[in-house]
Amino acid sequence: MGADGTPTLSIDKVAEDVIVEYITDNDIPLNILSEEAGYIDNKAEKTLVIDPIDGTYNSVMGIPFYSVSMAIGTKSMVDVEAGIVQNVITGELFYAENGKGAFRDGCRLNVRKYIQKQSTLFVYMGRHSKVDCYHVTKKANRSRSMGCASLEMCMVAKGSADGYYFNADHYDKSIRVIDIAASALILREAGGEIVDLSGNRLDMPFDLKVRSNFLAYGDEAIKGVLL
Amino acid sequence: MGADGTPTLSIDKVAEDVIVEYITDNDIPLNILSEEAGYIDNKAEKTLVIDPIDGTYNSVMGIPFYSVSMAIGTKSMVDVEAGIVQNVITGELFYAENGKGAFRDGCRLNVRKYIQKQSTLFVYMGRHSKVDCYHVTKKANRSRSMGCASLEMCMVAKGSADGYYFNADHYDKSIRVIDIAASALILREAGGEIVDLSGNRLDMPFDLKVRSNFLAYGDEAIKGVLL
């Protein structure tokens, strides 16, 4: 473990190496954007955006909730054309293609209607969560904070929860495009949306340096209550 | 779903019926204390304390983190002599006998040393969490809120996290003995402890009406930081 609790020999790196090697060995025409490797320019038109393990801490410490997330797009989150997120523990596979809906293991995903009194929210909690995160939990019936953004987004896409609110007080702790490129498409194809905290549709370039806070939801009615 | 979001035809009831039926049909000499059935007096010396599904909402809505929890004792949490908690999703089985250590699938469990900068806490978050819950998350490096107290306690017992802080603003939202009778023994046998928010060793009678807030931890040093 490093000083901040991040594993030094990262499982992310091992998982990433397998994916990068596969792309290279099979001459698959894709650039790669990933956590450890950064941007690998293969002179391709499209880019594979990878979070080889989303929920690294969970995976290393034995909290059974983490995923592999992959998306294909051109320049930014809104042009992502296909995305998959797999729960490594359960094997549940979430996927979507632009305009063709979102699915889990063959079943069509649909977000649910928001009823505040019955609502469940995922909320980012930790040393860098703003107090607004606490206020948001008070507006929900139940809150969860599971430590794996891509899977938490997929839970909203499949109607397990109403939304996911992420508000960090430090830019470096906000979300990156690799974390949510796939799950944002899955959520949008399931009927939901992801916006910044001003309420504007969220887009993020394929750039590891760019970060954002966000609200993801199934039902737009939640915006008026939480933002 | 009922008005508060609790399933009307509860999976808890189905799971409980199976356990109660097994005890009765096999003339096992145990009283039973459980969520739906309440206290079943079989004129036995000892009582089986059951949470047939801990994490009901997770189980019903497809959030893959919930358990079955069972403990055997006489009158209250501190005299529990055996406890098991099983993660229904992964099959992971946590168990302990008084004085004989705690185990997960045959491997001895040990809590971990607390280093605040690297610490991970489970924290109760929701409509009824006190603002102290938010303040506690700010003192940890990472926080999680998974919606299944027994499993969250077992995660502390196995060293996945440093503690679990539960502070609800409403008595009816605090924890009951059925939720943690088994996992408290598992945690204690792994070297940890569970205390009330005054720092006193927590005991709870086998009584569904009694509730409590608590701090569970692996390393006693955490008390000085959080309480």
Q: What is the pLDDT of residue B69?
A: 97
Give the number of C-alpha atoms closer than 13 A to the C-alpha of residue B219, restricted to the C-beta side. 15
Domain with CATH 3.40.190.80 in chain B: 116-226
Using a CB–CB cutoff of 8 Å, tell me whether B172 touches chain A. Answer: no
Please tell me the predicted confidence (pLDDT) of residue B158: 97
* pLDDT in the model for residue B7: 56
Residue A12: band (very low, low, confident or very high) from pLDDT cuts 50, 70, 90: confident
Give me the pLDDT at residue A1, please. Answer: 52
Percent of chain A with pLDDT over 90: 92
Q: Which CATH class is domain A116-226?
A: alpha beta
Question: CA B123 → CA A80, A135, B46, B140, distances in Å?
Answer: 35, 15, 32, 10
Q: With an 8 Å Cβ cutoff, is B170 touching chain A? A: no
**For all residues of chain A together, what is the average pLDDT?**
94
Q: Using a CB–CB cutoff of 8 Å, tell me whether B87 touches chain A.
A: yes
pLDDT reported for residue A155: 98
B137 with A125: Cβ contact below 8 A: yes
Q: Residue A162: which region, alpha, beta or left (left: phi > 0; alpha: psi -120 to 50)?
A: alpha
Residues of CATH 3.30.540.10 domain(s) within chain A? 11-108
Q: Residue type at A26?
A: N
A89, A117, A126 member nearest B90 (Cβ) = A89
Buried b (16+ CB within 10 A) or exposed e, B199-220: eeebebebeeeebbbbbbbbbe
pLDDT tens for chain B, residues 1 to 227: 554 555 545 788 888 999 999 999 999 999 999 988 899 999 999 999 999 999 999 999 999 999 999 999 999 999 999 999 999 999 999 999 999 999 999 999 999 999 999 999 999 998 999 999 999 999 999 999 999 999 999 999 999 999 999 999 999 999 999 999 999 999 999 999 999 999 999 999 999 999 999 999 999 999 999 99
Using CB atoms, pick whichever of B57, B87, B118 lies closest to residue A1.
Answer: B118
Q: Residue B62: which of A63, A147, A160 has the nearest Cβ?
A: A160
Interval A85-142: pLDDT, tens: 999 999 999 999 999 999 999 999 999 999 999 999 999 998 999 999 999 999 999 9
Q: Using alpha carbons, select from A192, A2, A10 the residue that is nearest to residue A101.
A: A192
ipTM comes to 0.93
Partner-chain contact B145 A143, CB within 8 Å: yes
pLDDT at A187: 98
Chain A interface mutation, best of B129, B132, B137, highest count of A Cβ atoms under 10 Å = B137
* CATH architecture of residue range(s) A11-108: 2-Layer Sandwich (3.30)
Separation in Å, CA A81 to CA A70, A85, B168: 11, 14, 44
Q: Does A161 contact B at CB distance below 8 Å?
A: yes
Chain B contact for A4 (CB, 8 A cutoff): yes
Chain A residues within an 8 Å CB radius of B129: 134, 137-138, 143
Among A119, A138, A154, pick the best mutation site for testing chain B contact (most B Cβ within 10 A). A138
CA-to-CA separations, A107 to A103, A113, B178, in angstroms, rounded: 5, 19, 36
Interchain contact, B131 vs A127, CB within 8 Å:
no
A 5-64 residues with CB below 8 A of B?
5, 57, 61-64
Q: Which pLDDT does position B5 carry in this prediction?
A: 55
- pLDDT at position A35: 87
Spatial separation of the C-alpha atoms in residues A116 and A139, rounded to whole Å: 7
Of A59, A49, A65, nearest to A149 by C-alpha is A65
Name the helix (H) or strand (E) containing A156: helix A149-157
pLDDT digits (tens, 9 = 90+) for A41-93: 999 999 999 999 999 999 999 999 999 999 999 999 999 999 999 999 999 99
Question: pLDDT band for position A6 (50/70/90)?
Answer: low
* Count of A-B CB contacts under 8 Å: 134
Q: Among partner residues B92, B118, B131, which is closest to A134 by beta-carbon distance? A: B131
- For residue B6, the model assigns a pLDDT of 55
Q: Measured between CB atoms, does A117 come within 8 Å of chain B?
A: yes
pLDDT at residue A36 greater than cutoff 90: no
pLDDT of residue B36: 85
